[in-house]
Structure formats: structure tokens, C-alpha cells
Structure 1
């Protein structure tokens, strides 16, 4: 089976993990701090604005507390979003308000967001679909005009940028994922970015039980180093040196990953461009940069599901991301979302990862063409 997503791991990760084992310390330590500094530089930011955590979903859930969103406050989320975003809002006791998306890019537009704003709106939790940037030049002024926090879900945007600035550095808070299905992988892990360094400091405590004073070796102040106080009922949601070791080695490979993924993207564009029954991904705005996390096509003749099954029978796995939240019964949210509905019914994500061979990409293209010749 040709996988839709797949990590690239090698001896380098194993060797670095062995060093961690040999050090006799596998918890949060120097390697975590090193990775945070590397990622801060990667973002064009500073270490006092960057913090690691155990997964991107923790970042979504913690964003409610860190951005001072209270029960009853309304948070606007594009209906085409990861389920973790919706759950984060609801678990906080806040009101999940959904907005529509562009049917081609699957990103929310400023006009979609503005339609959902009420006097109770406190924040926008914005997904950059597949790491493709939303139009921040229109969204940020809108948020500022209404006094809204902007939380950027950049889970798939490890190398994405909007007009020369790293994605995730525009809003108040952002998060990137390094789980097993992402580009840079470390089993599980994430990076958070904060516009305000004081919120980063607040997050550092929140993600370790709300501790005000560290116990043990790190506590050099208290006479009894086992004593402590807390400032919040926080979680324990941290990376450790094992996951950081993997992340550091994966980080070094990002340029190679991007080069290979872009080559796959270009091959699909070239191989599928003459199929009138398919829409290829919309071109990005000038000055923007993708991480090539997804390659999504849209089937114009209503035969998306048939194509997916046809490909699967040929050992080519595809999928659709993300099932719209207004179609999830448990949320109980109705409404009119024509852009998201069109995308959900007609979009298919093709295999996209740096391990794909030229022969595999050609097989995918030829199989899609074969389906078209037979059924379209």
C-alpha cells in the first residue's frame, strides 16, 4: 500500500536517542532547551517566545487558559478544522462558533469570520489548512478592529510562511505538531509560540502543574528544596530529551524533506493538469510558502468516493481532511456552510510524503487517469 502520509527516520535519530540513554537522564533537559532555541531561530523569533509541549492538541486546549478565554466566551473556529480545536473550546466551557471556509483552499477568509462575530466573541482559533497560509493581511486587521485574540493552528506548517514571515508569528499564540504523521516527527511533541513573552512565562508554569518554584536540583533558593507553591491548577505537558533528540535530528533534515515534497507536488501538477474533471490545488498568494503537507484534488463530477475506493483497490491510500465540525452530531451545531460542504464532498488528499518514489508518484497519476478514462 502506498501510504498517504509517512515519516522518514534513520540511524541519526537512533544514535542521538542512544546518547540520551547513555546520559542516564531521559526527562526534560538540555536537549529540549536546545530544540526550543533551534525552532525559535527557525521562526525568526526569540527563545523567550517559544515553548515545547507534549502535543499540538495540548497547545489547543491550553490556549483557552493562556489567552484568558472564559466559560461562556465565544470562539470562532473554521468548520473545516481538526477535532481537537472544537474539543478545546467546548472543554473550556466556551461556546464553539463555526465559520465557513473557501471551498478551494479550505481556509477561512476574513469575510467568513466577520459573519460569525458577536459581542461575546473573544477569539478566533484559525487553522492554516495543510500549512497553506490564510490571508493574514485581512484577518489580523479584522481581529484588531474587534479586539479578538488570534490563535493559529499551524500543526502542518513547519516550514510555511506568509509574505516573508513564519506562519504562526502573526497572532497571539500558535502551535506546530510533530506527531507520527507530520513532516518533522518525534513520536509526539509540539512547539508553541507567543507574541507576548509574559504569556510564554505563564505557559511554562501552566504546563508543569502551575509550579512557582521548581523542586529538586533546579530549586536553589528554598532551604527545603522539596517545598513549592503553585499559581494555577496546571497540567504536566512537556517534551523530554528522548523526543527532543528525535526532533533535533529531524529538524536537520527539513530542507531535504521540503525539496522532495515540493518535487512530488510539482509532479502531481504536471501529471494531472489536463484532466478536466479534477481541480488541482489553488495557487498560493505571491510571497507565501507552503510546507507541502497535503496535496488535495477536488473531483468536479461527484465521483470523489468512487475514485478513493478505486485507488484503494490499487493499493493507493487516500483520505480527506478535515471532516467538518458542523457534521459532527455531538457538537450540535447547524448552519449554512456551503464552502466547507463542497470541500467535504469533493476533496481527496493524495499520498504526500518525502519517501514517495518517482515510480509510485507515476503509478498514482496513471491510476487516476485510468479511473477517468473508465468512469469520467
Structure 2
């Protein structure tokens, strides 16, 4: 049996969805993107959704739109995919890496506070692999110190924090629609915000800084010559992608339920396996389980890479957990050695195992039994 690490859930409706755009000839950013933006904003409870070509470009756009640039610092947890930190470098600002909580692996508010300087302009918390961070604690710090918050919620669409959807009531939250996420548009991202002026600025900046969109010009009954008052970017999602997203957002609750059901089975059965800990979910949060991450304890009889190799031989795909971005050459050459012991231990000892909405009972049984055979009983 072969079990992949993940698999996008796409059906016939998604396959047919782009046809309308293709037949009209409007395949770039247009009416389907606007429809998708409204659907995502309505789902999470935000006033605006601004679609982008990826979460990475969304993060860059969100930072740029609030004036982050050379001489500024943005605090980012190191335990995250490197795109979070890279988005800061794109602006010319500096990344200041911070620690994470030992149980949630999300940003540690107390450590954030310690790393604020006169140059700090923003904090970028990350909702790691679909678990909402303690955003209230971050917002308290940000408000007290006069800082902006840009929340990297790449894997967290559908996650909840204290009963509210991630993406609601926030200044800027950025989601991803990469195929590894719960829903996908192939590639794509979305910024949600309740700020009318900011949403308008984001829409202008993602389309080269164009004063009047091409959609508006095509729909006008008179000639409109646009201008370009500032430098923008080509960060557009297209209507083919958005048409798939419209179907996927309608299915989101169904897909989340399927993922959570499979995660709950892991939660019930894996504590009987030696040397591993299941994910911790605090009472204020509801996880999307973009991924299911194990922590290998000191009692684990195998090193992580050896365990991953043995699982691979059985046809089971695994991945390392979350990277420590501050250890990558991109950042060591800029900032030298930064000591983040909690992050470094987590990066060494975490491992992702297969989880996806269409995972069968037999596939999951095979994964559980393989771990039990390799590691033994607890």
C-alpha cells in the first residue's frame, strides 16, 4: 500500500468550474475572483477579501501596504515555512526571529515583547499547520507598543479562535490555497481585512498600482485612461483559479469535518505507541489539521530520519515537521547565529504523517500499525 503525505480533494465540479471563464474568454482576474473574494470574506466573517497569486505575495503585499520598508523590523517566529520571513525581506526590512510555545508551536507572546526595539514596526504571528495562535495576547502587545499585526494564517482557513473564525475582526490576515492546504486553487492566497481604505489600496497594489482596474475599464461606457501613481505588483489570482476556489469554499466545512475525524482517530490510537506525542490543541482553538504533526520524545527508539526512512520503505510518505528558518543560510549569512532552543528542538524532533480528507480507514490503519511495529507499544 502507498499512502501519500497529503492529497487535494478535487472532484468533477471543480473540473467543470473553469469552463465558464474559458468560454467567455475572461481568464485573468475578473468577476470570478470578485465572487471568490466575497465568498471567503463571508465565510470567515470579514468585510473584505483581497485575492493574491499566493500567500507569500499576500504577505508581502500586506506588509508593503502598511509601509514596512528599509530600516524597519518585523518579529516573526522562526518555526515556520521560510516564506513567512522571506516576505519581510522583500520589503527591505529586517526579520527578528522569536521563540514559540513548547506545546502549541505557535508564537510565544512573552518572547515577542522581549525582542521589540525602536525599529520594530510589526509582528507576524503564524497559525502553525492550522492551529490558531493566541492572537489576543499578540494584539495586546501590539496595541500597547504601537505596532501593526499581519497574521500568517496560510494553513488556517476554517480554524477558530475563541469561537470566531480566523480572519474575522482583524486588520490583516493572509491565507493560502496551495494544494497542501485544506482547500486549493492550485496556487493562490487571500488577505482578509475590515479596513475599507486598506482593502482598496491592496487591490490597487496587486495590479501594478493601476488607478482603475481592467475590469472596470472593460465595463465602462466611456473611454477611461488609467494612471499609475505608485509602483505596484503583479500579484493577481486569475478567474480560472478562482472558479475552482468558489467550489472549494462551499465544500470547506465538509473537508474540515473529514480531516478532524481522521485526526481524532490518530489522537485516540497513537498514544499507545512508544516515543511519540500527539498534537496539543488548547481549549480556545479548533484545528484545521492541514497536517498531523508528531513529536518524537526522548523515549523514541529511532532517530527521526531513520523512522521516516522505514516508513518510506513501507510506502508511507512522511515529512519533517516545521523548519527553523533562522538556521537557513539565507538568514545565518545576514544575522549570524541566533539562539532559539525551543524552536531548534522542535525542528529536530517533529514529523508529519499522512492526513487528508479522502484518507480511507484502511490507509489510516496501515499508518498506525506501521508506527506501532517500528516503535513498539508505549
The answer, yes or no, to whether TM exceeds 0.5 is yes
Aligned partners of 1:22, 1:253: CA distance in 2, in Å?
25
Matched residue pairs, number?
A: 371
8 Å CA contact 1:153–1:168 kept in 2: the answer is: no
User: Shift in Å at residue 23 of structure 1?
Assistant: 2.3
| Aligned counterparts, 1:164-243, within 5 A | 164-214=163-213, 218=217, 224-225=223-224, 227-243=225-241
What residue in structure 2 maps to residue 300 of structure 1? Answer: 297
Aligned partners of 2:214, 2:134: CA distance in 1, in Å?
45
Q: TM-score, normalised by structure 2?
A: 0.93
Aligned partners of 1:163, 1:324: CA distance in 2, in Å?
28
After TM superposition, the structure 1 stretch with the greater mean CA deviation from structure 2, 194-203 or 151-160, is: 194-203
Query: 2:351 matched to 1:348?
Result: yes
| Aligned counterparts, 1:126-165, within 5 A | 126-165=125-164
What residue in structure 2 maps to residue 119 of structure 1? Answer: 118
User: Shift in Å at residue 63 of structure 1?
Assistant: 2.0
After TM superposition, the structure 1 stretch with the greater mean CA deviation from structure 2, 66-75 or 331-340, is: 331-340
Query: 2:36 matched to 1:35?
Result: yes
Q: TM-score, normalised by structure 1?
A: 0.94
Query: 2:360 matched to 1:323?
Result: no
User: Shift in Å at residue 90 of structure 1?
Assistant: 1.5
8 Å CA contact 1:50–1:194 kept in 2: the answer is: yes
User: Shift in Å at residue 213 of structure 1?
Assistant: 2.7
| Aligned counterparts, 1:272-291, within 5 A | 272-286=270-284, 288-291=285-288
SS state at 2:320 partner: coil
Aligned partners of 1:63, 1:321: CA distance in 2, in Å?
27
1:238–1:275 CA distance, 2 compared to 1 (3 A)? same
Aligned partners of 1:349, 1:67: CA distance in 2, in Å?
35
1:165–1:119 CA distance, 2 compared to 1 (3 A)? same
What residue in structure 2 maps to residue 359 of structure 1? Answer: 362
Question: Which whole-Å deviations, capped at 9, do the CAs of 1:268-313 have from their partners, x for residues lacking one?
Answer: 1111122342111113223x22111121111113622221111111
Q: How large is the Cα RMSD of the aligned pairs?
A: 1.9
8 Å CA contact 1:103–1:342 kept in 2: the answer is: no
What residue in structure 1 maps to residue 12 of structure 2? Answer: 11
User: Shift in Å at residue 173 of structure 1?
Assistant: 1.0
What residue in structure 2 maps to residue 96 of structure 1? Answer: 95
SS state at 1:126 partner: coil
Give unpaired runs (5+ residues) of structure 2.
none
8 Å CA contact 2:30–2:215 kept in 1: the answer is: no
Query: 2:79 matched to 1:76?
Result: no
Give unpaired runs (5+ residues) of structure 1.
none
1:255–1:64 CA distance, 2 compared to 1 (3 A)? closer
Aligned partners of 2:61, 2:261: CA distance in 1, in Å?
36
